Amino acid sequence: MTTRPSTHIALAELEDVFTFIYSRVGNRRDAEDLTLQVALKALPCLRQGGAAGAIRGSLLTTARLALSEFWSARLDVTQDDQLDDPDHWGPPETVAPEDSDEVLQRMLSGLSANHRRVMELRFVDGRSLREVAAEMNSSVRAVKVMQLCALRAAAKLSLADRRRSTCNDHKSGDTAFT
């Protein structure tokens, strides 16, 4: 049995690297350029006779680095700026802590009884899927499906709520573009 050279394995994996990059960049031209950069950086560094998994991991690590450099340049943010500014360390706070209970109750009230019950047991009470299934006299698989449906319904409600508040802001003249 002969092993394929590392470069052949890497070239076969570049289509997956392109797909990975495209899903994060959103346009073909940039994804192709970044995939080329990954190939140019990673191919000379590959160890001959390396395992396919190790080669794939090396390509994905190089792709993540290329994406990081791409977005830093696109957003004009240096790595030092990110380290110096603690606001870049995590997601922005979108709901004030004192308003979170009100937002949660409004969202739960818009759901059907089953969806509301699943969301309350899973996320408010912090119960496991198995515990929720026992509480609702259902299977774990059915609870997973109900949870997914409930999350989707909650996302739709949240989106509709944000659209309403944005429309109200525009109607009242409270915009930054006036």
Q: Residue range 140-163: average pLDDT?
A: 82
Residue 169 has pLDDT above 80, yes or no: no
Alpha helices in 120-173 (DSSP H): 129-135, 140-171
Q: Look at residue 1 and tell me if it is in a domain.
A: no
Q: Which residues contact 131 (CB under 8 A, 6 or more apart)?
A: 121
Q: Residue 142 sits in a domain of what CATH number?
A: 1.10.10.10
Q: Residue range 150-169: average pLDDT?
A: 72
Q: How many domains does the chain have?
A: 2
Residue 171 has pLDDT above 60, yes or no: no
CA 121 to chain centre: 24
Q: Look at residue 149 and tell me if it is in a domain.
A: yes
- Give the end of a domain, one of 87, 118, 143: 87
Residue 34 has pLDDT above 90, yes or no: yes
pLDDT at residue 51, rounded to an integer? 83
Model confidence band, residue 98 (pLDDT cutoffs 50, 70, 90): low
Which residue would you say has higher pLDDT here, 104 or 99?
A: 104
Q: Residue range 122-131: average pLDDT?
A: 88
pLDDT at residue 139, rounded to an integer? 92
Whether 78 and 105 share a structural domain: no
- Give the end of a domain, one of 87, 118, 139: 87
Q: CA separation (Å) from 165 to 126, 154, 162, 171, 172? A: 30, 16, 5, 10, 11
Q: Residue range 39-61: average pLDDT?
A: 84
Which residue would you say has higher pLDDT here, 165 or 153?
A: 153
Q: Look at residue 17 and tell me if it is in a domain.
A: yes
Cβ contact 47:6 at 8 Å: yes
Which residue would you say has higher pLDDT here, 36 or 155?
A: 36
Range of the structural domain that residue 32 is part of:
6-87
Q: Which residues contact 82 (CB under 8 A, 6 or more apart)?
A: 72, 88
Q: Which residues contact 143 (CB under 8 A, 6 or more apart)?
A: 118, 129, 132, 133, 136
Residue 178 has pLDDT above 50, yes or no: no
Whether 121 and 78 share a structural domain: no
Whether 136 and 81 share a structural domain: no
Whether 113 and 58 share a structural domain: no
Model confidence band, residue 5 (pLDDT cutoffs 50, 70, 90): confident
Helix crossing, 28-42 with 52-75: angle to 10°?
Answer: 130
